[in-house]
Amino acid sequence: MVTFLPARPGRLADVPAFTRAIGGAESNVACALAAAGHRARWVGRVGRDGFGDHLVETIAGYGVDVGAVRRDPHRPTGVYFRTATDRAADAHEVVYYRAGSAASAMSPATVPYSSVADARILHLTGITAALSADCLALMRELTAPRPGRPLVSFDVNHRPGLWRRGDAADVLLGLARRADLVFVGADEAETLWGVADPAAVRAVLPEPAGLVVKAGGEGAVLFERPAPRADTVTRVPAPGADTPTRAHVPAPAPGADTVTHVPAPRVDVVAPVGAGDAFAAGFLSGTLRGLDARARLRHGHLMAAAALTVPGDLAFPPARHPAPTPHGAAARRPSWIDHADRLAALDEADWGTLHLGPGWTVHPGPDQEVRTP
């Protein structure tokens, strides 16, 4: 959807002008992943109007595949207006104009599973589920258990202004329990399910193999259960015989969670929006790269810092340069990711003093050091 950013702080009633930008949790994640050098596809539905043109062209400009986006000639592209304050602040205002939008017409009939089946990760959010009954049916279809499905990532992304039916808590819990990886803010969990402590959130959501509980400036906690090994067939000697026979050995029971906490770095915030989507993108980028738990969480924090240090929801994609892949082919990898890798590899003491401000994503020269208080 298209978002309108206020020209100055204050109530919506007092803001005289707005700047047009792109918005939408799923497209934000897709853009951030593409900016990080990954192949990303955005599957959506926009109106056949000027705002739809702007969305598709801008998202494609980030390197995102928009070939599966459908244009609706009868419904408009959704828009929303917001104030400059943090979403968690009492003074924050947001007004959505998404009822009857092109996105609200998404359904299992208009978004075929084949459009996402070949992905390594399918990222979904609770925002889509709030748009209409058809959108909720689509979400249930995409999160349904099926052989060979992509890793299903689900960001709860509770937006009270979109939930008119009063069933957000039950719907979002049901969808989260069908996912493989879930992102949720501690504040969201408290609002929805009455729990905020990460361990208590895990007790409410034991099903996903991975659960990330975000607590803003305090950092994030990852609960991760080892993937169960498949049943095996081995050869064992039969009683009284020397010749081994085949025997079925069931897979061991799933192990206990590995719990990893990573504090957030200090950030000079320019605009307190977009951090949640950016965190998910950074974590998913680390997942695609096969990084360990600490590195994935740190890349989530770093991507969130990239969003917090620019005025809008998204930083403009950094300049990219070709880099060799293990197979010798050329890949488009932004130089700031190399910088982020170095920051993510800091020892605990240096990570604890990391201080990021506007412009930190610019690749530093050899004479520059990590900024500390």
Which of 189, 205, 209 has its CA nearest to residue 197?
189
277, 313, 350, 367: the catalytic one is 277
> Quick check: is 292 catalytic?
no
CA gap 293, 295 in Å, rounded: 6
**Which residues neighbour 276 within 8 Å (Cβ) at sequence distance 6 or greater?**
25, 155, 157, 183, 185, 214, 304
Which of 27, 20, 98, 34 has its CA nearest to residue 63?
34
Is residue 55 within 8 A of residue 2, CB to CB? The reply is yes
Residues serving a catalytic function are: 277
